[in-house]
Chains A and B, each alone.
Chain A
Amino acid sequence: MADGIRDKVAIIGMGCSRFGERWDCGPPELMLEAWSEARADAGIEPEQLGAAWLGVFYQEQSTGKSGLPLSQALRLPNVPVTRVENLCATGTEALRGAAYAVAAGACDVALAMGVEKLKDTGYAGLPERAKGSFEDLWQPSATPPGSFAQLATAYARKFGRDMDEVRRAMAHISKKSHDNGLHNEKAHLRRAITEEDVLGAPMVAYPLGVLDCCGVSDGAACAIVTTPEHARALGHTDFITIKAMQLAPSNGWEQGSSEWDGAHTITTQRAAQRAYAEAGISDPLRELDLIEVHDCFSITELVLMEDLGLSGPGRAVDDVLDGRYDRDGILPCQPDGGLKCFGHPVGASGLRMVYEIYTQLLGRAGQRQLDTPALGLTHNLGGVPNRNVASVSIFGLNGG
């Protein structure tokens, strides 16, 4: 019987580029920016890397296929590099590959890098792709905000909530993340907004206005992992360990079954249940100290509070408005500004979330430092509500 990955992998160094509209550089420079920070943090040279994983989503528009972009950007000494892609969970997948490698004993030290260069398309929003699959013959040419907006109409319908009330909670979520992002010098969007700003913003996809949407950003983030034993052998005492890494992709049920309510992400529920079990968590709301979830849109964060078992069914609106997930609430959510304000370079986002957990757990978060957090959760949701890949990962202090 497998006993999971809990405490078998240590993160000894992390790096994250500044996120944003990085007109000044391309993917190699973004990766180098993240790597330089992690390299100094971990005291690891390229020659010490046994393997590396590269996460890129929009390979054609952005960075390129294969492991070559990472190998070339860092001039790695022909280290084995594997490129992975799993929608918005791509960065976490890169970390999962590296973590499994060291846990399996295949190598002592591994690198996980995520990067995305989204602002070379010439327009706002995520890139359009050419149509040409069977599904393109019948599926709507939907945008991400349009796809996630479905959650709001279905949620309001399911719980009999007035849409204005749901939108107020959504506005609170966006305002909270903007407040948090103000204190993050690497964040894409750094300005305070009010809930009225959110409610009055131009509509993108009903009921999502432009301030309900996260930033479309360029950026890179990376982690250097090893085993706790090897970490100590290298002289590290300041590190965190992976408590759980779980992934749940849709199997087509939500897309095709009217039994799916349209108001939740089943995959998040599944991944969270497994991750809590792997990490030995029974009361996530009380045991976790901070969470970084996939707030691509405000409504996503709202329903995720229920999918992660932190709010009861239909209760997230009230919990959000009560400030439960604010910086000074029971469980701070997105203390770094989240996708909303830190930004969302797709392939990097999973690792960016881990970067915040790492930074907070090691007490390095400066102005936005929380009070002695010991356990943090990251969550990605790749795809759209009716078909997605969800990942839930949990991290703790060394030996914690």
Chain B
Amino acid sequence: MTDAVGWARGRVRPGQGTRSFAHWDEDSLTLAVEAGRGIDSDAPAPARLLLASTSLPFADRSNAGIVREALGLPASTRLLESGGSRRAATSALIESLESGVSTLLCASDCVDAQPGSEGETELGHGAAAVLVGEGPGLAEALAWSTRSSDFVDRYRQADRRFDYRLEARWTRDAGIRRPLKALIGEVLESAGIQAGDVSYCLAGLPASVTRVVAKDAGLEDADLLADVEAEVGLCGAAQPLLLLDRALTRAGAGQLILLIGAGQGFDVILLRATGAARRESRPARVRVEPNYTRYLGLRRLMEIDGGLRAERDNRSAQSAAARRHEELHGFLGGRCSACGKLQFPRSELCLHCRAAGTQELEPMADLPGEVNSFTEDWLAWTPRPPLIFGNVHFPDGANVMLEFTDFEAGELAAGDAVRMAFRIKDFDDRRGFRRYFWKPAPAETDHG
């Protein structure tokens, strides 16, 4: 990045760490789905799905509704979206705690930065999810509080793509330190907890700022999990939950976690880990992109000419989608009750045995896939050539021709195992629409 665009800001020394960015077919919605899929719980389906983000793709179409269908939650699930601030997720968490209603909270952000900007070195794309409800769980919320203040240190008007930021030192010293110190003190006091007993201080702030805040509040010894920022950057509204996710893979029983959301005010939540056994978060499959202009192209920060084939009209058949959106978003196939075999898409007559009206919908997204045939198509237009697609076998007789994602040319072989990932299928730029479907990805892929 420094080599490519550092000249614009007088940066000559390489920066440190990495930051995550979404592939061309990902957005805050697909990232939220991946996070939601990572919830490992035997609890009954939550009564609510709460989607927290500052960068949801649709202003007037239920983003949470799409996530619900992708996660296979029932249509009776109450849907809420929380946005407007980078503390959208912590505010939503507080609301969920106070509501007493079982809630799946998916926090996700996918905000791009202007090339050459300060934000470019800071912002990451990511998502995390937490299930809030009764029971011992992984952590117990002890106390929380919130303060709102229209302190405008950065903002993004609804019709703009990039943040506008003011001086970072002013933000820290005039907008964060004093009010946050007071709020942390209030929460600790209400719970009867000494600052020195807190093991983790996790904030949706740059680690350098969190460090100062922690010191102000007497939490010098708390772990900030600064390594998360070094790995992925700051992922907007998702950052506090990303940090909490990491902390809960480490925290022992009784350890205290202070979770801070920041953005035009603060949320502070004190949690105590139960020490319940939790599988280690699957390591994110990291693919380092060494080509800066390809990054710009994938994120559409630079318009790459796709040739005449990119002129194709990607209008969606909305009435067809309206009939079958749950099957598409949930990757639901049909299981024939006569022959027991599976197929996608479901049809009135079984393709295996021709029985009529026997197919019952069944989720296929978590079934293992095996590549039977594939190609790397350099003629077809795709934002990331080649277009890799092929026939994928699923258990019980199903074969589906699918577009792959997250594979580079030369990486795929017939017989490979794949896992399904919820992704953007196509953009319809002319009508400002995007549609989603499932794609086979490398079996070890995870965006947890």
Segment at the interface with A among B123-131, B151-159, B253-261, B387-395: B387-395
A141 touches B380 (CB 8 A): yes
Partner of A131, one of B314, B372, B409: B314
A258 touches B401 (CB 8 A): no
Residue of A131, A133, A137 with highest tally of chain B CB at under 10 A: A137
Given the known A-B contacts A142-B387, A150-B373, A157-B414, are A130 and B313 also in contact in the complex, defined by CB atoms under 8 Å? Answer: yes
CA–CA, A150 to B414, complex, Å? Answer: 10
Interface membership of chain B positions 330-346, coded 1 if the CB is closer than 8 angstroms to chain A and 0 otherwise: 00000000000101110
Q: List chain A residues, Cβ under 8 A from B394.
A: 258
CA–CA, A139 to B308, complex, Å? Answer: 21
A142 touches B373 (CB 8 A): no
Q: List chain A residues, Cβ under 8 A from B321.
A: 134, 137
Given the known A-B contacts A146-B387, A253-B351, are A153 and B401 also in contact in the complex, defined by CB atoms under 8 Å? Answer: no
CA–CA, A272 to B345, complex, Å? Answer: 30
Segment at the interface with B among A5-13, A120-128, A317-325: A120-128
Q: List chain B residues, Cβ under 8 A from A132.
A: 313, 315-317
Main secondary structure of the interface of A (DSSP, over half): loop
Q: How many residues of B contact A (CB 8 A)?
A: 54
Partner of B373, one of A125, A153, A252: A153
CA–CA, A133 to B314, complex, Å? Answer: 10
Residue of A128, A140, A262 with highest tally of chain B CB at under 10 A: A140
Residue of B374, B398, B409, B435 with highest tally of chain A CB at under 10 A: B374
B320 touches A140 (CB 8 A): no
B324 at the A/B interface (Cβ < 8 Å)? yes
A258 touches B397 (CB 8 A): yes
A273 at the A/B interface (Cβ < 8 Å)? no
A133 touches B375 (CB 8 A): no
Q: How many residues of A contact B (CB 8 A)?
A: 49
B414 touches A153 (CB 8 A): yes
Min CB distance, A23 to chain B, in Å?
17
Residue of B315, B377, B437 with highest tally of chain A CB at under 10 A: B377
The residues in A between 106 and 133 inclusive whose CB is less than 8 angstroms from any CB of B are 122-123, 125, 128-133
Partner of A143, one of B323, B345, B380: B380
Q: List chain B residues, Cβ under 8 A from A143.
A: 377, 379-380, 387
Segment at the interface with B among A201-209, A217-225, A332-340, A344-352: A201-209
Min CB distance, B222 to chain A, in Å?
48
CA–CA, A151 to B375, complex, Å? Answer: 9
A149 at the A/B interface (Cβ < 8 Å)? yes
Min CB distance, A300 to chain B, in Å?
13
A150 touches B377 (CB 8 A): no
A154 touches B377 (CB 8 A): no
The residues in A between 154 and 173 inclusive whose CB is less than 8 angstroms from any CB of B are 154, 156-157
B426 at the A/B interface (Cβ < 8 Å)? yes
Q: List chain B residues, Cβ under 8 A from A386.
A: 391, 399, 401
The residues in A between 219 and 277 inclusive whose CB is less than 8 angstroms from any CB of B are 251-263
Q: List chain A residues, Cβ under 8 A from B316.
A: 131-132, 136-137
A136 touches B308 (CB 8 A): no
B136 at the A/B interface (Cβ < 8 Å)? no
CA–CA, A392 to B311, complex, Å? Answer: 37
Chain A, Cβ-Cβ closest to B396:
A258
Given the known A-B contacts A131-B426, A258-B393, are A205 and B312 also in contact in the complex, defined by CB atoms under 8 Å? Answer: no
CA–CA, A84 to B11, complex, Å? Answer: 66
B215 at the A/B interface (Cβ < 8 Å)? no
A260 touches B399 (CB 8 A): yes
A138 touches B425 (CB 8 A): yes
Q: List chain A residues, Cβ under 8 A from B351.
A: 251-253, 255-257
Given the known A-B contacts A138-B328, A386-B391, A386-B401, are A149 and B312 also in contact in the complex, defined by CB atoms under 8 Å? Answer: no
Given the known A-B contacts A138-B437, A258-B397, are A145 and B343 also in contact in the complex, defined by CB atoms under 8 Å? Answer: no
Min CB distance, A341 to chain B, in Å?
20
The residues of B with any CB-CB pair to A shorter than 8 Å are 307-309, 311-317, 320-321, 323-324, 328, 341, 343-345, 347, 351-352, 372-382, 386-387, 389-391, 393-394, 397-403, 409, 414-415, 425-426, 435, 437
- 22 contacts across the A-B interface (CB closer than 8 A): A128-B311, A131-B315, A131-B316, A132-B313, A132-B316, A134-B317, A134-B323, A136-B316, A137-B317, A138-B437, A140-B387, A141-B380, A143-B387, A145-B377, A147-B375, A151-B373, A153-B375, A157-B372, A206-B377, A206-B386, A257-B397, A259-B397
Given contacts A123-B309, A131-B426, A206-B409, 5 further A-B contacts (CB under 8 A): A132-B317, A137-B324, A138-B345, A143-B380, A145-B377
The residues of A with any CB-CB pair to B shorter than 8 Å are 122-123, 125, 128-134, 136-143, 145-147, 149-154, 156-157, 203-208, 251-263, 386
